[in-house]
Structures are given as structure tokens and as C-alpha cells.
């Protein structure tokens, strides 16, 4: 395939993915925004007023970056896992894999769709957060790069989950029993400096901690984790999951009967 054909294939996949979630925005965009708004009200206003400052910021300001990141993570993941598995279930993915479209472009197309939904929800949640806090971004480039890399990472993870899923129930197992606990324990609502020494060190094994803190550093200018360590962990996981996803697509694991 020449460059023009590659672009057409990529553009087609991405537009289809964006239209897929934007046509049902009441189901894909609004629910996570409402859920996050409730977090702002309950944790930020009601409980936060009793907690006091965190690292020199009000509790509301402290949790805003984590809640935005949480919405991006869950929606980037959910978009790819549901879309790719749906294509498997309907048999569409087999047709795509036997076409001249290279596997790397298929992967990038699906990941781009996941990124688009993650960023769309993240932007909507950011707008809502302005109602509850005076959000000011300290470093735009760190903020934007961390959120883009995180959306990429969890889009890849969603595709891998979809490859191995054999039923619609299988695409909810990882988000329910792995993703949700790691997110809540990833420093969204607290600083790990408040934890006992053992649990501080245990928290460092949670990759989401590095994403939340990297994003918080970009917005507030403070974090529990060095920003370059956050970049290293995120990029390392992207390389690992991206390589594994390419291996699965190349060998037809989970996609060819």
C-alpha cells in the first residue's frame, strides 16, 4: 500500500471509531461526566472541607487532576475493548486482517479511537471541574503529553483484553477486578506521603500512580513521583503492551478461528 492508501485506511478506522462513540454521546460521554461531578461534590466539597490542604492546595484542587485522569483511563480502555471485541463478534476484524491493511495501522487506528474518546471525556470533565475549582495548568506540555501517553497505554490494554475475550462478560473482568482497584489506589484521592512506609513502597508497584502524579505535576506543579520516572514508566508500558499487541495481531491469536 502506498502512502495515500495507508492514510485512507487509517482515516477510515479512526472516523468509524469516533462516530461510534459520538453518535451515542448520551451513553459514552455524559455518564462519566455525571459520575465525576458527584465525586467533586461528595469528596471535594463535603469531605474535602473537613480534610484541609494537601501539599499546599485545597483538597478539591488536589483531586481534580486525579479525577480527570481516571475518566481518561476508563474511557480510553472501554472504547477499544468494546469496539475491537464487537468487530471480532461480528466477524469484521477477520476481513480487516486479511486485507492489505498492515497490522500496525489497524492497531494505531483502534488506539487513536480510544485516545479520541478518552480525551473527549477528559475535556468534558475538565469543563465541569471549573465549576468546582479555579483550575490553572502550570505546564501545558507536561499535562498534555502525560494525558496523551496514558490514553495510548490504556487503549493498547483494552485491545489486548478484547483479543483474549471470548464473551461480552470477559471484557468487563479486567476493568472491574484490576483497573478499578488500581485506579482508586493510584493516588487519585490522597498523597502516598500520608501512608505508612510499607504502603508507600507497595504503592510504587501500581503503574497508575505514576500517571496520576505525572498529570498532577503538570497541573499543580507538585507530585509524589519524579516527573521523569513517570514518563519512563508510562513509555515503558506503552512499548511493552504495543509490542505484545502487534505480536497477537501478527499471529492471529484470538482473532482467527
Q: Where are the domains of the chain?
A: 3-251
Phi, psi angles (nearest 5°) of residue 57: -120, 155
Contact 114, 77 (CB under 8 A): yes
Q: Please list the ranges in the chain whose pLDDT falls under 50.
A: none
Distances (CA, A) of 56 to 53, 188, 214, 220: 6, 16, 17, 10
Question: Can you tell me which residue has the cell 501478527?
Answer: 250
d(CA 240, CA 245): 9
Query: What would you report as the CA-atom Rg of the chain, rounded to the nearest whole angstrom?
Result: 19
Query: What is the pLDDT at residue 114?
Result: 96
**Which pLDDT value is given to residue 127?**
94
Residue 51 has a pLDDT of 77
- What CA–CA distance (Å, rounded) separates 153 from 225? 19
Cα–Cα distance for residue pair 174/163, rounded to 1 Å:
13
Q: How many residues does the structure list for the chain?
A: 257
**Torsion sign across C-alpha atoms 252, 250, 20, 28:** positive
**CA dist 121 to 27, 46, 91, 117, Å?**
11, 24, 29, 6
Q: Going along 21-166, which residue ranges are E strands?
A: none
pLDDT reported for residue 257: 57
pLDDT at 153: 97
Q: What is the pLDDT of residue 23?
A: 94
Amino acid at each position: 500500500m502506498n502512502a495515500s492508501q495507508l492514510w485512507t485506511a487509517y482515516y477510515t478506522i479512526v472516523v468509524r471509531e469516533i462516530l461510534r462513540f459520538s453518535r451515542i454521546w448520551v451513553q459514552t460521554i455524559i455518564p462519566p461526566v455525571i459520575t465525576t461531578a458527584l465525586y467533586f461534590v461528595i469528596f471535594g466539597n463535603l469531605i474535602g472541607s473537613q480534610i484541609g490542604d494537601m501539599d499546599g492546595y485545597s483538597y478539591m484542587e488536589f483531586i481534580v487532576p486525579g479525577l480527570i485522569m481516571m475518566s481518561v483511563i476508563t474511557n480510553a480502555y472501554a472504547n477499544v475493548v468494546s469496539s475491537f471485541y464487537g468487530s471480532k463478534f461480528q466477524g469484521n476484524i477477520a476481513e480487516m486482517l486479511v486485507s492489505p491493511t498492515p497490522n500496525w495501522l489497524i492497531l494505531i487506528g483502534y488506539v487513536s479511537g480510544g485516545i479520541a474518546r478518552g480525551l473527549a471525556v477528559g475535556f468534558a470533565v475538565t469543563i465541569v471541574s471549573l465549576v468546582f475549582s479555579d483550575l490553572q495548568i502550570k505546564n501545558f506540555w507536561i499535562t498534555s503529553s502525560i494525558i496523551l501517553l496514558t490514553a495510548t497505554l490504556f487503549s493498547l490494554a483494552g485491545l489486548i483484553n478484547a483479543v483474549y475475550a471470548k464473551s461480552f462478560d470477559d471484557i468487563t473482568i479486567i476493568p472491574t477486578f484490576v483497573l478499578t482497584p488500581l485506579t482508586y489506589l493510584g493516588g487519585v484521592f490522597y498523597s502516598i506521603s500520608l501512608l505508612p512506609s510499607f504502603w508507600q513502597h507497595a504503592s510504587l508497584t501500581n503503574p497508575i500512580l505514576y500517571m496520576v502524579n505525572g498529570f498532577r505535576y503538570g497541573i499543580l506543579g507538585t507530585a509524589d513521583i519524579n516527573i521523569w520516572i513517570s514518563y519512563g514508566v508510562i513509555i515503558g508500558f506503552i512499548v511493552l503492551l504495543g509490542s505484545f499487541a502487534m505480536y497477537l495481531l501478527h499471529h492471529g491469536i484470538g482473532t482467527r478461528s
